[in-house]
Structure 1
Amino acid sequence: MDSWVRFNSQSQAKERVLRTAQYACMLLGYTLHKSRVATNLHRTISDLEAHMSLTRKLLCLGNSVEALQAAKRAIHLSDSVLRLCLTIGHLNRAMYFACDNVLWAGKTGIISKLDQQKWSQRSFRYYLFALILNVTRDVYELCLLLDSEDRYRSAKCSSNPSSALPAHHLSPSSSSSSPALMWARLCRHIHQVVTVLYSNPPLLLDLLKNGCDIFIPLDKLGIYRTGPGFVGTCGVLSSVLSIVTMLHPWLKLKP
């Protein structure tokens, strides 16, 4: 099984490049459709997108094995939240790839009379749940870092009382519910989040990638329609971010 995982990982880069091209074709096709010109070119672009999608499904054959291996590793994590999110997320990815493999077999004619719409919807449901768990994991990691940052600042203020706020700022008479104070707190919190993400590129890239990806199944399942233009843009961005993490492994969020 390990040898298969190593072999399968070599095709992931090709699959990511094809994914980028596929969603670029979707975006280009949407642009041509909106401009109402070059009908033949629009049809060619749509056919090319369909062929790339089919080729990607071929390259993803066997990805379920890798997802199951990842779930097997994640189940031994000490952090219970990460263990839950990653294990169930990888299992959903395995089911997503399995459904995608069945869909590929139906589109190529290997399995005749396959309800492709049903299997496509089933595949995207597993994909959506996996992405929700991935985003939950990212938010959890962000909360841990923010909590660590708060503890560091508290310890710094304790060791250096002169850096603490003046007493009148902490007085009960302060209007804690005033819009100005609430806005200041919100800005300070946003600045803290941006600072933490900026200092942790792997988490930032993973959050952006999952944030872009989640709109794809939401649109395909009809939960939140955004249109092919937006879906194409999100697909291109998430694919490029995936390629970046492949080129620079230190940017991949671990575990």
Structure 2
Amino acid sequence: MESWVRFNAQSQAKERVFRAAQYACTLLGYTLQKGGASADLLTTIKHLEAHLSLTRKLMRLGNSAEALEAAKRAVHLSDCVLRLCITVAHLNRVMYFACDNILWAGKTGLLANLDQNKWSQRSFRYYLFALILNLTRDAYEIHLLMEREARSSSAKGSLSSPSPLAPTPENGEFSPSPFPSPASAPVPAFPVITARLHRQLRLLVSVLRSNPPLLLDLLKNLCDVFIPLDRLGLYPTGTGFVGACGLASSILSILTIIHPWLKLKP
């Protein structure tokens, strides 16, 4: 199985290029339809998109084994949250690719009586579950990094700012007054909440800027999640938006293949 996984990994870059071309055709067809293009041109683009999709399904025939091996490796992670999210996500990918392979057999005529719509819905359900778990993993890692960054910032701030002497009657800095000082007045809640949100937003931007692999994985999963949501009818967004999201996520995936250090690990 390891030799097959190594062989299958070599075809992933080609599959991502075909995926980018497929969703580019989807976006192009939507744009031309809005622009009033001829029916023959739209039919040609749809046929090209269908051929690209079928070619991608052929290239993904061995991806179930690769996803299963990835799930086996994820079982040994020390962090329980990462272990659960990554392992279950890979297992959902195993089922997604299995359904996709059966769907490929139906489209090629090997399984003539296959209910393609039912198996397509099943594959997109598994795909959606995997993406939700991937987004959960991204949110968890962002939360951990934000907590670490906040602790580091507070530690640096406490070391750089000396603590002032407490006011006492002996040093002349304490003068009792029958009226409450303005500092002791209650602070409105809305400005406090707004300031806290601004701090969290700055912290989030700082964390994502210093972790490009996490940022790319988050953007890729956010783009991908709209595809099964639209196909399953849970959140219809339209062909143009799906094509744009698929094209963007494909380009991000190609970047992680060209530059392996951009791929989120584990």
TM-score (norm 2): 0.90
- Change in 2 beyond 3 A, CA 1:83/1:217: same
Q: How many Å apart are 1:172 and its aligned residue?
A: 6.0
- Deviations for 1:187-209, whole angstroms, at most 9, x for unmatched residues? 22111101110110000000000
Deviation, structure 1 residue 35: 1.6
Q: 1:238 aligns with which of 224, 235, 249?
A: 249
Indicate the residue corresponding to 1:204 in structure 2.
Answer: 215
Indicate the residue corresponding to 1:180 in structure 2.
191
Q: Is the 8 A contact 2:82 2:137 kept in 1?
A: yes
Does the 8 Å contact 2:150/2:203 carry over to 1? Answer: no
Structure 1 residue 133 displacement after superposition: 0.2
**Structure 1 regions of 5+ residues with no counterpart?**
165-170
Equivalent residue for 2:235, pick from 208, 218, 224: 224
- Once residues 60 and 254 of structure 1 are traced to their aligned partners in structure 2, the CA distance between those partners, rounded to angstroms, is 22
The worse-fitting range, judged by mean Cα deviation, of 189-198 and 242-251 is: 189-198
Deviation at 1:173, TM superposition (A): 3.6
> What is the match of residue 172 of structure 2?
none
Return the alpha-carbon distance in structure 1 between the equivalents of residues 18 and 11 of structure 2. Answer: 11
2:125 aligned partner: 125
Paired position in structure 2 for 1:18: 18
For 1:136-175, what aligned pairs fall within 5 Å after superposition?
Answer: 136-162=136-162, 173-175=185-187
SS across alignment from 2:235? coil
The 3 A distance-change label for structure 1 pair 205 and 172 is farther
Give the Cα–Cα distance (whole angstroms) in 1 for the partners of residues 218 and 163 of structure 2.
33
Specify the code of the residue in structure 2 equivalent to 1:123. S
Residues 99-133 of structure 1: per-residue CA shift (max 9 Å, x gap):
00000000000012000000000000000000000
**1:184 offset after TM fit, Å?**
2.4
> Percent of counterpart pairs with the same letter?
67
Distance 1:172 1:211, change over 3 A: farther
Aligned counterparts, 1:19-98, within 5 A: 19-98=19-98
SS in structure 2 at match of 1:114? coil
Shift of 1:39: 1.7
Tell me if structure 1 keeps the 8 A contact 2:226–2:245: yes
Change over 3 Å in CA distance of 1:162–1:41 after alignment to 2: farther
Q: Is the 8 A contact 1:176 1:182 kept in 2?
A: no
Q: 8 Å contact 1:157–1:163 — kept in the other structure?
A: no
Q: Secondary structure at the match of 1:234?
A: helix
Structure 2 SS opposite 1:214: helix
Q: Look up the match of 1:254.
A: 265
Deviation at 1:157, TM superposition (A): 2.3
Distance 2:67 2:239 in 1: 28
Cα deviations by residue, 1:29-78 (Å, 9 ceiling, x for unpaired): 00111122222111100110000000000000010000000000000000
CA spacing shift, 1:37–1:142, aligned 2, 3 Å: same
Aligned mates of 1:134, 1:173 — CA distance in 2: 46
Q: Which runs of 5+ in 2 are unaligned?
A: 165-182
Larger radius of gyration between Structure 1 and Structure 2 = 2
Q: Aligned-pair distance for 1:174?
A: 4.6
User: Structure 1 pair 140/163, CA: closer, same or farther in 2 (3 Å)?
Assistant: farther
What is the TM-score with the length of structure 1 in the denominator? 0.94
**Are 2:110 and 1:110 equivalent residues in the alignment?**
yes
Measure how far apart 1:186 and its partner are. 1.4
* 1:94 positional shift: 0.5
